[in-house]
Structure 1
Amino acid sequence: MIGEPTNFVHTAHVGSGDLFTGMNSAPAYHLILEGILILWIIRLLFSKTYKLQDRSDLTEKEKEELIEEWQPEPLVPPISKDHPSLNYDVVTGPPSHKIIVNGKECINFASFNFLGLLDNERVKSKALSSLKKYGVGTCGPRGFYGTFDVHLELEERLAKFMRTEEAIIYSYGFATIASAIPAYSKRGDIIFVDEAACFSIQKGLQASRSFIKYFKHNDMEDLERLLKEQEIEDQKNPRKARVIRRFIVVEGLYINTADICPLPELLKLKYKYKVRIFLEESMSFGVLGEHGRGVTEHFGVNIDDIDLISANMENAVASIGGFCCGRSFVIDHQRLSGQGYCFSASLPPMLAAAAIEALNIMEEDPGSYRTSANTSTKHYKGKSNLPPFSMKMKNQCYIKINVMTPGLKVVGEPFAPALHLQLENSTGSRTNDLKLLRAIVDYSLDRQIALTLARYLEKEERFLPPPSIRVVVTVEQTQEEIEKAAQCIQEAALKILK
C-alpha cells in the first residue's frame, strides 16, 4: 500500500519526461505550426462573429433622401412594344395543311408536318382509342411505373424501322440529344462539333462539361486539322490519352442551314482517328432515303458505322418526343444515365400509339411520301440558277421553283423540307433585317400564305445564324399552292426590298 503512490508519481514523472523529450525532438516548424493553430483556436473561441455598428454618419434627413432616390433594378430588361415576341400570330385549330391564323385561313408553310400525318385520320383514330384505354398521361418516369406496353412496342418498331439492335424513346424531342450527349461524354472528354449545330445539341454539350472543339460548317479539312492537333497532344501523354473519349457530333440535315452533312467523309475520319460519331436526324428522319431512314440510307452507308442516331418524333412522325437508336449496349446505357429518360414523365401512351400508326403508314407505301434523295441530286446536278425551294410530291416528283427576286436568296438543299430565305445584302443591323423579313411574312399572311421567321435565343446561341424566313414544304401542298407562295414572296420582296 505504501508503494502505490510512489509508483504513481514515478509513472507521471516518466510520462512528463517523454512529453518533453518528444517536444525537444520535434522539428521547430512543427512546433511553430501547432502554436499558431492553438492561438487561432483561442481567437475563434473568444472573438465575436460580427460587430454591430452603433453609430451612423448619416442624418435622418439624409437617410430619407437616399430611400426616396433609390430605384430597384427591373426583373427583366426593358423591351420595346414592337418586339416580335410581344406581337405574335394566333393559330386556331390544328396546324395541318390549311391553318387558321388570326382568323384567316392560310396555306401552311410554317409547320414541320413534312409527311402530312398530323391530321391523318388513321393516326387520330389510333390516338383516340389509346386515350380511352390508357388515359392522358403516365404521371411517372419510365423506371417508376411509367412504362406501358405501347412504349415497348414503339421502341421495338423504331429499332426495326431503322434496322438497329435497339431504340429508346424520350418524352420530349428537345431533351433527346441534349440528354444523350452527357450520358456518354463527361468532364475531360473531347467533342468535335459543327459550328451550325442546333440549340438542343448546344445544351447537350453544355451539360456534358466536356472540352468542346468547333469546326467550320461541313468543312472536313478543318475537322481533320483539329483531329490531327489532338492526335499530337495524345502522343505527348499516352497514359492520359487512353482514358479520354472523343466524339464527333453532327446533324444529318441541319435545321439552321438546310444542308446535309458529308457523312461518307466523316466516316473516313472516324476510323482514321478513332472517334465516335453521334448523328442528330430530326430533320432528315422520314424525309431522306428511299424508306425515310435518314441520311444513312441517303448515302447508302452501314448504319452500324454510326455510334448513335438521335431524332425527334415531332416532325415527320407528327407526334411528341424523340428516340435514340443503335447497338444494344449503347442504348441500354441511357436507361440509367439519360437524364431526360430517367427523370421526366414518360411519353403519354396515346402519343406513343399515334407514332406507331405513323410508322405503319410510312412502311406501307413509302413511295407515296418520298423518293430517294439521290434522284433529286442527279436531277439538279449542273444547274446554274439560284438554289430552289421545293417539295416532294405524292407522284414522286420534285417541283422546282426559283425565287428570282433581287434582294432574296434561298439557302438549303433542293430536297430539304425546310429552307431559309435570307437577305442578299444585310442592312448592317440585325433588328432592321428582321423587320424587313417580318414585313414579307406579314405581306404573305395577308394573302393567305403562312410563313414564319426562324427564331433563335440570340444571347445563348454559340454561332448565331443570320435572320431568315423559314419555308417548310410538305407532301400535302400542291404545285399550284407552291407557285402561289413563290409569286407572293416575289411580290413582297419587290415591294419591300426595292
Structure 2
Amino acid sequence: MRTECIFYALLNRSIDQNLSVDYLRNNFLFNPTDIIDGLASAPAYHLIFEALLLIWIVKLLFFTKTFNLAKSDLTEKEKHALIEEWQPEPLIPEVEEENPFGFKNKFTGIPGPTVCINGKEHINLTSLNFLNMIGNKEVEASAIDAVRKYGVGSCGPRGFYGTNSIHLELEENLAKFMNCEEAILYAYGFSTVASAIPAYAKRGDVLFVDEGVCFPVQKGVEASRSCVKYFKHNDMSDLERLLKEQAAEDLKNPRKAKVTRRFFIVEGVYLNYGDICPLPKLIELKYKYKVRLFIEESLSFGVLGDTGRGITQHFNCNMEDVDMVCANLEYAVGSIGGFCCGRSFVIDHQRLSGLGYCFSASLPPLLAAGAITALGIIDSSGDKLENLRSKASSFHQMLESISGVCVISDEISPVKHLMLSKTNGDINGDRLLLQKIVEYCMQNGVAVTQAQYIDQFEYKVPRPSIRLAVNVDLPQEDIKAAVDVLKAATKALL
C-alpha cells in the first residue's frame, strides 16, 4: 500500500478539520477510514504493482525451498569416475606451433648482464635492469634483514593496517631524492600512473596526451573519463595547435572554462620509442596556456641527470615547474612498486583518491628495504650513471652502423628501438621479419626481443621494433659482440 497516499489523505483531512500533529501521529496507521481514502486515491497500476510485490515477498518467506548442497544423488562409483575424468587447465596455455610470435624460451637465474635461456648463457639486451640492481649483494642483504624484522608481507592496504615504518622511510627518501615536498608509495608499478591520473583528472577536464605514451598511462587516461586530446608524438607544434583550439572553445563558454582543468601527460623517456620529451618547451606552454604538467618517469628516474633525478635534472629545470612526477621502482631501482611525488597537497589527495593506493595491499617490506638501499647506491654513485650513459651512447653509435634498420631512440637513452628502414606496409609482415632477426640472435648467444603491444587495446600501436636495453655492467666487448650478431642477422635476412 502506498503510505504516501494515506498521508496525503490524512493531511488534507487535518487541514479541513484543523487537527493537531498528535492526532496525525496517533491515527496515521490505525484509522480505517483514512486507509480506505488512501487506497481509493491511489492509481490502479500502483496498487497492482505493490500487490504483486507483496505476493512475491510472501512466496520468498514461506514457499521457497532450501537445497542441501552437500546432498548428492551420485553413487560413490560415479563420483570417483567424474574425478578421474576431470583434467585441470594449465595456468599458462600451450603455445601453438604455428604461432610465429609464441614465447617458447625458458629463462632461469638473475637477469643481469647475461641470462640463462634454455640452459645456455646469452648476452642480455632484454631486461630493463639498467643499473644492475637485481642481484646486487647490498640490496639482497637489506631485503633479507627486512624479512627477519617485518616478515614477508604487510597483509593490508596502507590506509588500514598495511603501513610499516619502512614504507614511511622509503617515501621520505624518495621525496628528498627528487627534491619534492612529499612522495607516496604504490605496491605495483602499473597501477601507479593508472591510479594517479584519475585521482585528479575527472569528467569534464581536458587532457593533452602524447600519442606515444605507454599502456599504463593510456589506462589511467581512460579511467579518468576526461576529454582526451592526443597530439603527435613529441610534436610541440601540434600540441600548441590543440591548445589554441581549446582556448577558442573556452572563449565561447567562459563559465565552463573557469571550472575546466587542463593537463599535459607525457613521459620522460618514452617506453615505446626510447626518446626524451622536450621538457623546457612543455613548461613554456604550461605557463602560457595555464595547464598542469604530469610526467611519467619510469625510464628516466635513476638514469637521466648527473645524479639520477630524472628529466628535470637532465634539462636543469626547476622541479616546482612540474605538478606531479610518477615512476615505478621496477627498472633502475630493481624492486617492485612505484611512487608519485610533488607538493604535499597534491600527494595527500592521492591517499584518499588513488585507487591503487587505497585498495591494494601495500608493498612488501623486503622490497621497500631493497629500494631504499638501491636509492642510496644511485645517490652516491655518480660514476655508475655516467658509465651507463657512456655505454648507451657508444651502443647507439654502433647500432646506427647496421644496414636495413634504423634507431629511433635518443643517444643517451638506455632503451633502444630498432625499426626496419623500409617497411613492407604490412604490420604482421614486419613483425614476422623482425622475429626472424630475434631468433637468429638467440641462436647465436644474444638475447633480444620484439616490443610487445596489446593491439586491440592500445590507442595507437607503434611500428614493429626490436627493443634493446643497456646494462651498466655489460662489458664493452659483449656490446660489440652483440652488435656484430645483429649485423650478421640483418645481412642474412634483409
Query: Which band: TM-score by shorter chain?
Result: 0.7 to 0.9
> Paired residue for 2:460?
463
Alignment check: 8 A CA contact 1:188 1:211 kept: yes
Q: In 2, Cα distance between the equivalents of 1:434 and 1:151? A: 42
Q: Match of 2:422?
A: 425
Match in the other structure for 1:142: 158
SS in 2 for 1:115: coil
Contact 2:189 2:338 in 1 (8 A): yes
**2:109 aligned residue (90, 93, 112):** 93
Task: Return the match for 2:446 from 441, 446, 449.
Answer: 449
The alpha-carbon deviation at position 116 of structure 1 amounts to 1.0
Matched letter for residue 336 of structure 2:
I
Q: Deviation at 1:177?
A: 0.5
Show the counterpart of 1:271: 287
Task: Please point out which of 173, 176, 188 is paired with 1:157.
Answer: 173
What SS does structure 2 have at the residue aligned with 1:463?
Answer: coil
Residue equivalent to 1:67? none
Following superposition, the deviation at residue 199 of structure 1 comes to 0.5
State the match for 1:384 in structure 2.
none
What does residue range 296-307 of structure 1 map to in structure 2 within 5 Å?
296-307=312-323
Counterpart Cα distance in 2 of 1:123 and 1:46: 70
Question: What residue is the counterpart of 1:209 in the other structure?
Answer: 225
Change (3 A) 1:321 1:275: same
Q: Which residue of 1 aligns with 2:336?
A: 320
1:283 aligns with one of 299, 312, 323? 299
* CA distances 1:35-85 after superposition (whole Å, capped 9, x unpaired): 9x9464477689999xxxxxxxxxxxxxxxxxxxxxxxxxxxx99643256
In 1, Cα distance between equivalents of 2:187 and 2:254: 41
Aligned to 1:488: 485
Structure 2 counterpart SS, 1:242: helix
Give the TM-score normalised by the residue count of structure 2.
0.80
> Which of 407, 410, 413 does residue 410 from structure 1 map onto?
407
Aligned-partner Cα distance in 2 for 1:257–1:172 = 23
* CA deviation string 1:196-223 (max 9, x = no partner): 0110000001111111010111111111
In the alignment, which of 216, 219, 222 is matched to residue 238 of structure 2? 222
Deviates more, 1:403-412 or 1:472-481: 403-412
SS in 1 for 2:397: strand
For residue 118 of structure 1, the aligned residue among 131, 134, 137 is: 134
Tell me by how many angstroms 1:235 deviates.
1.6
Distance in 2 (CA, whole Å) between partners of 1:489 and 1:205 is: 37
* CA pair 371-105 structure 1, distance change in 2 beyond 3 A: closer
Equivalent residues in 2 for 1:362-401 (5 A)?
A: 362-370=378-386, 391=392, 400-401=397-398
Residue 391 of structure 1: SS of its match in structure 2? Answer: helix
The separation in 1 between residues aligned to 2:374 and 2:329, in whole angstroms, is 10
Deviations 1:90-121 (A, max 9, x none): 10111112210111111111000001111111
In 1: Cα distance, 2:157 partner to 2:320 partner? 29
Residues 90 and 84 of structure 1: CA distance in aligned 2, closer, same or farther (over 3 Å): farther
Instruction: Return the offset for 1:370.
Output: 2.3
Q: Give the distance between the partners of 1:45 and 1:441, measured in 2 at CA.
A: 69
Q: Given that residues 388 and 470 in structure 2 are in contact (C-alpha distance below 8 angstroms), is that contact kept between their aligned partners in structure 1?
A: no
Structure 1 residue 86, shift from structure 2 partner: 3.9
Q: Residues 85 and 433 of structure 1: is their aligned pair in 2 closer, same or farther, counting only changes over 3 Å?
A: closer
Contact 1:289 1:372 in 2 (8 A): no
> Which residue in the other structure is 2:184 paired with?
168
Task: Indicate conservation of the 8 Å contact 2:434/2:466, yes or no.
Answer: yes
- 3-state secondary structure, aligned to 2:207: strand
Pair 372,243 (structure 1): closer, same or farther in 2 beyond 3 Å = farther
Report matched runs for 1:29-108 at 5 Å: 38=43, 40-41=45-46, 81-83=97-99, 86-108=102-124
Q: Is the partner of 2:386 in helix, strand or coil?
A: coil
Cα distance in 2 for partners of 1:132, 1:330 equals: 35
- State the Cα distance separating 1:314 from its structure 2 match: 0.3
- On the 8 A contact 1:403/1:490 being kept in 2, the answer is no
Q: Residue by residue, what CA displacement relative to the aligned partner does 1:403-452 show, whole Å, maximum 9, x if unpaired?
A: 43332111201101111111112223222221211111111111111111
Give the direction of change, closer, same or farther, for the CA distance of 1:159–1:339 in structure 2 (3 Å limit).
Answer: same
Distance 1:398 1:165 in 2: 37
Residue 471 of structure 2: aligned partner: 474
For 2:472, give the aligned amino acid. Answer: V
Residue type at the aligned position of 2:386: R
Opposite residue 462 of structure 1, the aligned amino acid is Y
Identity %: 52
Question: Once the 2 structures are TM-superposed, how far is the Cα of residue 344 of structure 1 from its aligned partner?
Answer: 0.4
1:61 corresponds in structure 2 to none
1:230 is displaced (CA, Å) by 1.1
Residue 367 of structure 1 deviates from its aligned partner by 2.2
Amino acid at match of 2:483: A
1:146-182 deviation digits (Å, cap 9, x = unpaired): 0011100000001111111111110100110000000
Q: Give distance in 1, aligned partners of 2:47 and 2:231.
A: 59
Task: Using the TM superposition, name which of 234-243 and 195-204 deviates more.
Answer: 234-243
1:247 to 2:248 alignment: no
Q: How far is the alpha carbon of 1:254 from its aligned partner? A: 0.5
Distance 1:365 1:42 in 2: 80
Structure 1 unaligned residues grouped into runs of 5+: 1-11, 16-34, 50-77, 377-389
Q: Quote the Cα distance in structure 1 between the aligned partners of 2:162 and 2:266.
A: 31
Deviations along 1:336-384, one digit per CA (max 9) or x if unpaired, are 11111100000000000000000111112222332697xx7xxxxxxxx
Question: Is this contact kept in 1: 2:131–2:384, CA < 8 A?
Answer: no
- How many residues end up aligned between the 2 structures? 421
Retained in 1: the 8 A contact 2:95–2:104?
no
Residues 267-298 of structure 1 show CA distances to partners (whole Å, capped at 9, x for unaligned) of 11100110100000001111111001111000
Measured at CA, do residues 476 and 204 of structure 1 come closer, stay the same or move farther in structure 2, by a change above 3 Å? Answer: same
1:309 to 325, 332, 344: 325
Where structure 2 has 5 or more consecutive residues not aligned to the other structure, the ranges are 1-12, 17-39, 56-93
What is the alpha-carbon distance in structure 2 between the residues aligned to residue 232 and residue 251 of structure 1? Answer: 27
Note if contact 1:290-1:372 (Cα within 8 Å) is conserved in structure 2: no
* Equivalent of 1:237 in 253, 256, 262: 253
